[in-house]
């Protein structure tokens, strides 16, 4: 086992599970965080509602304490996509997307970085954004919240660089998970026609970019959000 620990949010979802599995396969200790606990994996998953931004820092600190080890890697992967046009989207839904997709990553980076700085340790964070941040989306709350997290990435990267803490993002195009399944079938086919590589991405392709951004091969990259979209954007 490497002396590394990674916290991954949205660990029960398609992309989150693949990221956890790839860390686990490399001997990295994994702490999963998601809505519901999952007892079926080789790593521990903790239940935590990321939309509850008032209790999030406290709950996150409790999870870290329960686990013991300080995490050198933080992956803000959990995300909400309402798949609704502006005419049908409620303010509550808009706020929920902002909480999970933008505010929660900020709260977790702050809590995590404070611990690393206190212990004089280095760290790497990857925020999972979306091409919707620059291309837009049917769901305005999704596009706006993903654009927000890109600026959380850039700003926190600059603030934490002298502490040897890197913060990057990835912006996937459509990836085969239950989130992409919520796009109506006819729109999925249309989407594929617009992707130069003519297909949706696979969760393993996302996990491998996350591994690159969390290991020393990317040691001079910080503040970037990298598209991974088969040429879409
Ligand atoms: N799939 C795509 O096409 C695509 C494209 C671009 C970007 N992304 C981004 O990739 C990330 C992962 O998406 P995915 O495709 O793997 O989706 P997914 O399979 O739906 O997984 C989403 C994960 O986030 C968790 N989550 C959502 N709201 C939460 C909350 N309030 N508290 C705690 N956990 C919460 C979900 O838990 P529950 O299932 O229990 O709610 C689930 O584990 C998201 O940030 C998404 O925006 C996906």
Query: What pLDDT does residue 179 have?
Result: 85
Give the separation between CA 202 and CA 14, rounded to whole angstroms. Answer: 9
Global confidence as pTM = 0.97
Query: What pLDDT does residue 182 have?
Result: 80
Instruction: Give a yes or no: residue 163 inside a domain.
Output: yes
Ligand 1 pocket, CB under 6 A: 10, 12-16, 34-36, 49-51, 77-81, 100, 128, 130, 172, 174-175, 177-180
Query: What pLDDT does residue 2 have?
Result: 63
Beta bridge partners of 46: 33
Instruction: Give a yes or no: residue 81 inside a domain.
Output: yes
Query: What pLDDT does residue 180 have?
Result: 84
34: domain CATH number is 3.40.50.720
Q: Which residues of 206-225 are buried (b: 16+ CB within 10 A; e: fewer)?
A: bbebbbebbeeebeeebbbb
The tally of domains found in the chain comes to 1
Task: Give the closest residue (by CA) to ligand 1 atom 23.
Answer: 10
Within 13 Å, how many C-alpha atoms sit on residue 64's CB side?
A: 21
Domain that holds residue 118: 5-228
Query: What pLDDT does residue 43 have?
Result: 96
Q: Assess contact for 89 and 25: CB atoms under 8 A.
A: no
Long-range CB contacts (within 8 A, 24+) of 32-41 = 32/8, 33/7, 33/8, 33/9, 33/60, 33/63, 33/78, 34/9, 34/10, 34/78, 36/12, 38/11, 38/12, 41/11, 41/17
Q: Which of 46, 81, 142, 191 is catalytic?
A: 142
Instruction: Give a yes or no: residue 233 inside a domain.
Output: no
- The whole-number mean pLDDT for each consecutive block of 10 residues of the chain, a chain of 233 residues, reads 88 97 97 92 96 97 90 98 96 98 98 97 98 97 98 98 98 93 84 94 98 98 98 96
Number of the ligand 1 atom closest to the C-alpha atom of 175: 3
81 is a catalytic site residue: no
Sequence-ordered alpha helix ranges (H) in 119-196: 132-135, 140-160, 185-194
Query: What pLDDT does residue 206 have?
Result: 98
Tell how far the Cα of 78 is from the centroid of ligand 1, in angstroms: 4
DSSP state of 99: I
Sheet strands side by side (includes 73-76) = 44-47, 29-34, 5-9, 73-76, 123-128, 165-172, 225-228
Return the residue matching tokens 């091409």.
131
Query: What pLDDT does residue 219 have?
Result: 98
Best residue for ligand 1 mutational test, from 13, 128, 149 (most atoms within 8 Å of Cβ): 13
Query: What pLDDT does residue 1 have?
Result: 47
Instruction: Give a yes or no: residue 31 inside a domain.
Output: yes
Tell how far the Cα of 212 is from the centroid of ligand 1, in angstroms: 21
Give the separation between CA 117 and CA 165, rounded to whole angstroms. Answer: 9
Instruction: Give a yes or no: residue 80 inside a domain.
Output: yes
Task: Give the closest residue (by CA) to ligand 1 atom 7.
Answer: 130
Tell how far the Cα of 119 is from the centroid of ligand 1, in angstroms: 31
Give the separation between CA 110 and CA 32, rounded to whole angstroms. Answer: 18
């Amino acid at each position: 086992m490497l002396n590394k620990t990674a916290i991954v949010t949205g660990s029960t979802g398609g992309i989150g599970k693949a990221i956890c599995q790839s860390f686990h396969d490399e001997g990295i200790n994994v702490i999963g965080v998601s809505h519901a606990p999952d007892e079926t994996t080789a790593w521990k998953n903790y239940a935590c509602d990321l939309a509850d931004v008032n209790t999030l820092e406290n709950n996150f600190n409790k999870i870290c304490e329960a686990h013991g080890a300080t995490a050198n890697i933080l992956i803000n992967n959990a995300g909400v996509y309402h798949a609704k046009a502006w005419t049908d989207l409620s303010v509550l839904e808009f706020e929920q997307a902002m909480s999970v997709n933008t505010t929660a990553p900020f709260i977790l980076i702050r809590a995590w970085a404070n611990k690393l700085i206190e212990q004089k340790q280095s760290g790497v964070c990857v925020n999972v954004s979306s091409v919707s941040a620059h291309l837009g989306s049917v769901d305005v709350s999704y596009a706006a919240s993903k654009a927000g997290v890109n600026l959380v990435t850039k700003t926190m990267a600059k603030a934490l660089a002298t502490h040897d803490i890197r913060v990057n993002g990835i912006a996937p195009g459509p990836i085969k998970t239950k989130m992409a399944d919520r796009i109506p079938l006819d729109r999925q086919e249309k989407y594929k026609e617009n992707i130069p590589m003519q297909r949706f991405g696979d969760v393993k392709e996302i996990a491998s970019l996350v591994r690159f951004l969390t290991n020393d091969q990317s040691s001079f990259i910080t503040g970037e959000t990298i598209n991974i979209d088969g040429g879409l954007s």
